[in-house]
Structure 1
Amino acid sequence: MTALPDGQADKSMTELLLAVGRSQDIDAFETLFRYYAPRIKAYMSRGGGSASAEELMQETMVAVWKKAALYDASKGAASTWIFSIARNLRIDAYRRERRPEFDPNDPAFVPDEAPAADVAMAAFQDAGRVQRALLSLPADQATVLKMSYFEDQSQSAIAAALDLPLGTVKSRMRLAFDKLRALIGGDPS
């Protein structure tokens, strides 16, 4: 194709693109390809990234062939439509490059190792001792501990729920901890 002034080139390319869209005119597409392929390749090579400019140009022209029927000349020039496709494909390629690959050995994805049998057994026995110790507490002390640690309520919320002074709730918790220490041995926290 001989070089045409910009206005005539746009009009000619628009007609060619419409022909490809209407009847998949191979000759019209070949002319479009010869005109736009080197321009798109140059555009893609300026964009950087590791995606091949040649591959992106090929993807662009395949998309032009497949989507030519969607082109609406009243919304813009053929060159604008084609370069929009090229730009979107370049962005997609950039995003694919920047997406981190899944590393199955990443510590965040590796499950914690199961505790050793002796450690698991000791924890089970400790839990049993704590449970038995809680059952041996007076009901009023056990209630404030359960509300605090199992229901995650503050001391003031417990006082309001049980209609008790805050000092009474604090005293019951202190007495409960003293009895638990004596029954279990050591610091329960």
Structure 2
Amino acid sequence: MSEKDVELYHRIQQGDKHALELLYDRYEKLLYSFSFKLTGQRELSEEVVQEVFIKIWTKKGIYNEHKGKFSSWILTVARNTGIDMIRKKKEVTYSIEERDSISSHEPLTEDLVEWKEEGARIRDAISSLAKEQREIVDLLYFKGLSQQKIADACQLPLGTVKGRVRLALQHLKKRLTIHEKGGQKS
């Protein structure tokens, strides 16, 4: 499936609206579900999905197939877009019914399986980090804090936070690359 995604992406870069529609149809439900879990708001989740596809349509050459899978990249774009929108809104309010009712936007089964497998690999890699690095990664990538806010909250120098992020990302990249190539985990 990922080769087709890359092919669609390249066609979009050439201005092919039909390719954009196909890619949208393939990822809209997954991105919505992912965004909803991140934001907890229907409207904001819809905005995130729309913004992701606007970015894909208007920004040329932002995906590099040599750096990773398309599905991972598009989920990262959705995550970053969602965090940016949350920061802009500053106020996260939603009803319990909104948060708990996403049944009409369920992702396809094969997307869920791939997403869960990817998540398990990432959780495994993160669990292999040193405690200090794991805490920084959690605050930065899962709680959406800036490096400066992490430094303030943990009472650490900003340089220390940046160093831990850099080391953690190097370790995760190595660990995930070994796993992708079918090698043994270290």
Which TM class, normalised by the smaller chain length? 0.3 to 0.5
Between 1 and 2, higher relative CO (CA 8 Å, sep ≥ 6) is seen in: 2
Larger Rg: 1
TM-score after normalising by structure 2:
0.44
TM-score after normalising by structure 1:
0.44
